[in-house]
Each structure stands twice: as structure tokens, then as C-alpha cells.
Structure 1
Amino acid sequence: MYGPPGCSKTLTAKALATESGLNFISIKGPELFSKYVGDSERSIRQIFAKARSAAPAIIFFDELDALAIERGSGNAVADRVLAAMLTEMDGVEQRHDVIVVAATNRPDMIDKALLRPGRIDKIILVPLPDAETRREIFRIQFRKMPIADDISMEALVAKTERYSGAEICSVCREAALEALDENLECSHVTWQHFISALESVIPQTSEEKAKMYDEYGRTLRTTIR
């Protein structure tokens, strides 16, 4: 899974494990690197060994771009870690009932050898939320906070175009804090509080960057073929 930050890629992976009832092993890419020679590769082997012993299981690599950097980048440790991953994924020891899921914000940095059929061959774009999704996020957030009658759901949906799900949640939290800063005993969050929150929480994904993710998807699929 790839896409802009804050679009619930990690949450989607956890939901997949919960719905399927499989054992779930979550790994942050950077945490596997060690200054000691051989430690990083051993960690990769141990992860896959643990998954095989707990099969059926899902191994989830978060921030895959930090772990599977394209070979030849000048990072010898990263090259060895990637080689260990490739060996474990389709090498001598076959995986049994082990599913590998990964997430990244930078698909362009991942070595293409990892993205061929038999390894990570399903590439899914997790885009910024559309209007209906943003509306549902606000609806869920409003269940946990008292809002005034002057709040317009549709206006908020229109004003949060290009906001990620995490940024929309941040807008709601910021609006609540604005209300408390104004009056610790306030009973409702008003429209003006949301306006102030929207001014302080700025979307991090530009229109150009969103288009780049679409282009990456077409490029990756062409490469896999």
C-alpha cells in the first residue's frame, strides 16, 4: 500500500489482520537497522522464522522505503537487508501461510526487485479521502465532541479538500482546544473554532504531489509487467 501520509495505511493493515483473524507481526522499517555487521540481516531472518512458526500470519513492514532502498544507492547495510528480504520471500525456504504486507509514502525509493510477482505483487494506492470519506470522518469525530448548531458538515467537507484523514482528525482536536482556550467551561465547539483550526492545520499533500502518487502507480504496474 502506498499513498500520502496520514491516509490510514497502517490502520488498514491492522484491520486486515483483525478481520482475517491471523497473527500479526508489525515491523517499522528503520528499527531493523543495526550498527553491528550482520545484525540487520539476522533480524529479517528471525522475523520470517517467527511468522512461519506462528502461521498463518501477516508480516507488516511499515515505512518500507527505509528498509528496501533501491540497490546501488551507496548504503551497504540497506543492500544486505534487501538481499535478506528477497531470500526469505522466495529463496530456499518456502513461506507457508505467511502473507507480507507493506506500506510506504515513497514508492519511488523501493527497489523494483521487491515488486515483482511472487514477492510484493499487489500494489494498492491509498489516496486522500474523497468528499464522502471526509464526511464520514467528521461524522465519527462529532460523536465524541459536542458541536454547536451552526456547524455545517458540508462546508467543512468542502474546506478540507486535500486533507488526509489524520489531518481532519487534527482539525477536530484543534477546534476543541480552541474552544477550551476560549472558555474552560464551554459546552459546545462552534463554527468559529473550526475556522481557527483550519487556519492552523494546513494540508501537507499538494495537488501536484497527489498527482505524483497516481503517476507512481502507473509506473510501478508497468514495471511489474
Structure 2
Amino acid sequence: MPIVSALLAELDGVSSSADVFVLAATNRPDLLDPALLRPGRFEKLVFLGVCEDRAGQIKIMQAVTSKIPLGPGVSLERVAELLPLTLTGADLYALCTDALYNALHRITCKIAAGEVDKDEAVVCVEEADLSVAASRLVPSVTPSELAHYKALNTTKQR
């Protein structure tokens, strides 16, 4: 792998400079070349897992929906209750954007049916849009993959 060799050479050159801090992230720690984890390179591993509680999921959904128009009766707490505790931030982002697409589809159908004037149409995500998105959502990390990543985390601690 010429890219890994080049990266290792750069990391070895940086180690002599006291003012440089190199940080990296991966969603596949099991594929890291062991040479990258030697002292002086990426010697500290920090595992950032999935949201394992409802409060964390709600906070992420609040952040994602801060720029999405939500209906007045939307309860992210009720939506979170529909979700598994194995979702990544990207999964929760996908949930919210899918709900936005559901709302957009709903309003365009109303416009096409003549129920709403196109100049007065407003796209607003309702709780039903989020519920439909939740029912379709497939977590990007399976429980077995999550267990595997957690095991990597405990074996690679220094």
C-alpha cells in the first residue's frame, strides 16, 4: 500500500515537530494498518460509539431539525421511542431528511390534487412524517458490527 507508506513517512517526520498534533477518524477501525498505531503515530484510540440512550438521540435530532420546519405538535421524544438504540448520528440525520422528503411529497401531492394552492403551500414536517421515516430506517451499524467495534476498543486501549 503506497498510500500507507507515504502517510507513515509523513507521520514520522511530524513527530519531531512539537507544535503539530495529528488527529484522524475512521468508521472502520478493524481495517487500520497496525503500523499506524505504533507509538509516535496514532497511539491513542478513542471510541465514539452510537447513541445508547434516548436523550442523546433527541439532542442529535434537535440539532438536525434546527433548520427543518417542524409542525407544532411534533414530539422528538415520542419519535425517539420508535428508534433502536444502535443508530449513528448519520442514521439520525437520514431519518430527519427522509421525514422532510415525506413532507415535501405530501404537500406536492396536495398541490397536484388541487387541495392546496402552490403559492400558499408550506412544507412542514409532521410527526407522522418522522414516524414513517423511522419505520423505513435501516441502521447503518448492525448489532454484531457494534459488538465487534466495542471489542476492538477494549483490546486496543493503551
**TM-score scaled to structure 2, two decimals?**
0.77
Q: Secondary structure at the match of 2:156?
A: helix
Q: Secondary structure at the match of 2:36?
A: helix
| Worse-superposed segment, 142-151 or 158-167 | 142-151
Higher relative contact order (CA 8 A, sep 6+): 2
Q: Which residue in 2 is equivalent to 1:175?
A: 99
Q: Which runs of 5+ in 1 are unaligned?
A: 1-77
Task: Name the CA distance, whole Å, in 2 between partners of 1:214 and 1:123.
Answer: 12
| Number of equivalent positions | 144
Task: Name the CA distance, whole Å, in 2 between partners of 1:182 and 1:92.
Answer: 54
Q: Which residue in 1 is equivalent to 2:78?
A: 155
Determine which structure has the larger strand proportion and give its number.
Answer: 1
Q: Which residue in 2 is equivalent to 1:3?
A: none
RMSD (Å) for aligned C-alpha atoms: 2.3
Structure 2 counterpart of 1:148, which letter? G
Q: 1:122 to 1:147 in 2, by over 3 A?
A: same
Q: Is the 8 A contact 1:128 1:165 kept in 2?
A: yes
Q: Is the 8 A contact 1:179 1:186 kept in 2?
A: no
2:60 to 108, 133, 137: 137
**TM-score scaled to structure 1, two decimals?**
0.56
Structure 1 counterpart of 2:58, which letter? R
1:35-63 Cα offsets, whole Å, 9 max, x none, are: xxxxxxxxxxxxxxxxxxxxxxxxxxxxx
Q: 1:173 to 1:91 in 2, by over 3 A?
A: closer
Structure 1 counterpart of 2:67, which letter? K
Structure 2 counterpart of 1:183, which letter? I
Structure 2 counterpart of 1:83, which letter? S
Segments ≥4 residues shifted beyond 3 Å: none
State percent identity of aligned pairs.
Answer: 29
Q: Which residue in 2 is equivalent to 1:202?
A: 138
Structure 2 counterpart of 1:220, which letter? K
Q: Secondary structure at the match of 2:86?
A: coil
